[in-house]
Amino acid sequence: MTRCRIPDCPGTYEVRRIIHAERHGEQIVVIDDVPAEVCDFCGDTLFGPDTVEMLEQITVALPAPAGVVPLYRYPHPMTPTSAVTGAGDLSYEGKATG
């Protein structure tokens, strides 16, 4: 096991399969089952050169997706009015819900 590269982190990297998401133009591309080394303490993630090359090929070619996932937006800080009413800026698939 390799020690984590983050200063003062006591963790070590372990091989895992992860879900990787990245923005590609106007799209968010989500790739499942990506091999990575992940720190067991802080979660720092490393990809090997072959994995990076494959991720680049996928995001350039954008083959037909294996499935579709919902997209949720993180709510922005609430305004004083929404803090009182509980309404936030939570949205689902780009549509405001609150």
Residue 9 in this model has a pLDDT that exceeds 90 = yes
| pLDDT tens per residue across span 10-20 | 999 999 999 99
Whether residue 12 is found in the same domain as residue 54: yes
Q: Which domain holds residue 46?
A: 1-67
Whether residue 58 is found in the same domain as residue 77: no
Whether residue 48 is found in the same domain as residue 85: no
- Give me the pLDDT at residue 98, please: 43
Whether residue 40 is found in the same domain as residue 10: yes
Domain count, the chain: 2
Reported as type and span, the H/E element at residue 84 is helix 80-85
8 Å CB contact between 77 and 89: no
C-alpha 56/C-alpha 50 separation (Å) is: 10
8 Å CB contact between 59 and 22: yes
| pLDDT tens per residue across span 14-63 | 999 999 999 988 889 999 999 999 999 999 999 999 999 999 999 989 89
What CATH code is carried by the domain that includes residue 6?
3.10.20
